[in-house]
Structure 1
Amino acid sequence: MTSRALAAVLTAGALALTACGAKSPAPGDGDAEGLRVAAAFYPLAHAAELAGGDAVAVSNLTTPGTEAHDLELSPQQIVALTEADVVVYLAGFQPAVDDAIAQSGAQNVIEVSEVARLTEHAADEPGHADEGHEDEGHEDEGHDHGEADPHFWLDPTRLADVVEAISEELAAVSPEDSEAFKENAVRSRVALVALDEEFATGLAECERREIFVSHAAFGYLTERYDLEQVAVVGLTPHAEPSPARIAEVQELAREHGATTIFFESQASDAVADSIAGDLGLRTAVLDPLESLTEESAGEDYSAVMRANLQAIRDANGCS
């Protein structure tokens, strides 16, 4: 049985439990009061918490330590999604969530791709991403074309837009709290714009503009702050790079004087170690923030983003 077929069976079973009167805890806290919001993964859960404040109980369907791309929902999570007052997700990012929403009959669903203004990003080398790579045949090795990059939250201003959209939906569901939701959105935008300004200032003067990453998750960040990402693989984090791609990245690292090869907090560092070891470079974590790790579960979006900022500043000689 395929994973999507299994998800459909689990969804049907969970919906049957709901119809028979089975109750799940309110998302986020079994005894919490307020609107129940089911969010597909961490940045959306954080956005919902910012928008809703104390008036919502948010369930993050992607628990700390879970790789967001590979999420499979448990029957209990499907019930929580079905019983939520509002559901927030990004279509196409997590097929299991897409399937569960389609079968749940959920009424108040926020799909964020339009408000987040998803775009395509070249995951290839700086300055000449499309030169000399026609028909190479290395699928998803840093040459993605035609696929929207889902990682919008690495641009804080786009996350602020999503917070505002969620606050508007919450106000429609709970009009008596509409003023509070509006104030939450305004307050959140101020904080996220301040974070954006920290990045702009912190990355304004750097010896290098390129960041070398294991997975092309950082296009919105590099676009926003005038950097260039060079990715070993494209938007699929567990794709295997060919020896030719590894050699290509190594040559680019030499050419641009790289000091650091970044890997992700929830992925293997083997490829980054191999590339860095051959060149005598460092490796370091750059977190795409798709989900929290078990170690970072006590931190929040802003803290992880600031850790990313410092990692880039250290790697690129920023003053």
Structure 2
Amino acid sequence: MGIILNIGKAEVRRSLWSRAACTLGVSTLVLTGVACSSGADTGAVAGAEAGSSSGVQSDRLAVLASFYPLEFVVERVGGNSVGVTNLTPPGAEPHDLELGANDLVEVREADLVVYLRGISAAVDNAVNTAAGTRWFDVTALARLEADIHFWLDPLRLADVADGVAQRLAELDPSGAEAFRANAAALRADLTALDAEFVSGLATCARRDLVTSHAAFGYLATRYGMQQQSVSGLSPDGEPTAAALARVADFVRDKGVTTIYTETLLSSATARALASETGARVAVLDPLEGLAEGAVGDYLTVMRANLGVLRTGQGCT
């Protein structure tokens, strides 16, 4: 471990690049001798050092994203000028993220760390102990309220993309025009997605959205629905018997036919509530992270969510 902690910044940057290339499948990078294995961090550093004569890796910014929606934004905005690594692995909850020694080295040595304060205590703690200009908190850009799940509102995510473009341009002025163009293209995609949600949820038989945890408040507000959650803002919260009874009464009184659980979380509570009330269970993806083996990206998953909502809410 001492060897890892004492390597220089250039070596860590090349290690970040090898990880990003393996994750993204970037065939244009020449990564001689680099192993695409989560357990080969030390070997990846050595391999990148041996293959550094190509000069490709060092020309690009090494960026860490604390969880998937920010990884998606940085990839789209940064394009070929940025290599991004997600600190939260597929199938994991950012709320439960723990940073190991290798992660902390990467956090300290990356050109930029893009994060959202409040979603991961481990990342917040790292910020508190290693403050500096390389940290980029998107909280203000997202215009957060009590709920942190801003990315489920496509237009809020577009605002974050604009801010990321500006920050990348400060680090790499030569790429500023490309970053702005990429952010504009992403905004166009997100605006089109928003229009699909507006149209798809315009005429629904039911406007009450009953969810396992309160991740969908921004989405509900944007598209004229009211969210009622079982366990509040914490995905790990265990609802009390009184809370379950309250939501069960709400489901019956409002004629709710679908209770939404989530990927990456247990569906036991939602299924118990559905069994008691006669409702059905459907799965929405809060996009805190991609499930292992997931196909597609943010746009794909959001469109799948729209289809689930149209069925569950009785939209025509």
Question: 101, 109, 128: which is aligned to 2:127?
Answer: 101
Indicate the residue corresponding to 1:17 in structure 2: 6
- Alignment partner for residue 258 of structure 2, among 253, 257, 260? 260
Q: Could you tell me how far apart the structure 2 residues matched to 1:243 and 1:105 are?
A: 43
Name structure 2 gaps, 5 residues minimum: 23-30, 32-55
Q: Could you tell me whether the CA contact under 8 Å between 1:210 and 1:256 is conserved in 2?
A: yes
Task: Answer 1 or 2: higher relative contact order, Cα 8 Å, separation at least 6.
Answer: 1
Structure number with the higher helix fraction is 2
1:1-319 superposed matches below 5 A: 16-18=5-7, 23=12, 24-26=15-17, 27-29=19-21, 31=31, 33=57, 34-119=60-145, 148-296=146-294, 298-319=295-316
TM-score, reference length from structure 1: 0.83
User: 2:92 & 2:158 partners in 1: Cα distance?
Assistant: 25
SS, match of residue 25 in structure 1 = helix
CA contact (8 A) 1:82 1:105 kept: no
Tell me the SS of whatever aligns to 1:183.
helix
**How far does the alpha carbon of each residue in 1:179-213 deviate from its partner, in whole angstroms, 9 at most, with x for none?**
10010011111110000010011001000001110
Q: Secondary structure at the match of 2:6?
A: helix
Contact 1:14 1:75 in 2 (8 A): no
Instruction: Answer yes or no: is the 8 Å Cα contact 2:16–2:62 preserved in 1.
Output: no
Would the aligned equivalents of 1:67 and 1:291 in 2 still touch at CA under 8 Å?
Answer: yes
Cα deviations across residues 156-193 of structure 1 (Å, max 9, x unaligned)? Answer: 00000111100101111001111100100111111100
Q: For the residues of structure 1 that align with 2:10 and 2:64, how far apart are their CA atoms?
A: 19
Distance 1:237 1:83, change over 3 A: same
User: What is the TM-score when the length of structure 2 is the normalising length?
Assistant: 0.84
TM superposition shift of 1:19: 5.9
C-alpha distance in 2 between matches for 1:113 and 1:161: 11
**2-side partners of 1:14 and 1:253: how far apart?**
58
Mapped contact 1:233–1:240 kept (Cα < 8 A) = yes
Question: How big is the alpha-carbon RMSD for the aligned residues of Structure 1 and Structure 2?
Answer: 1.9
Q: Residue type of the partner of 2:93?
A: E
Moved more, 100-109 or 183-192: 100-109
1:76 alignment partner AA: N
Provide, for residues 88-114 of structure 1, a one-character-per-residue CA deviation record: whole Å limited to 9, x for no partner.
001122110112233335432211110
The one-letter amino acid of 1:42's match is Y
- 1:223 to partner: Cα distance: 0.7
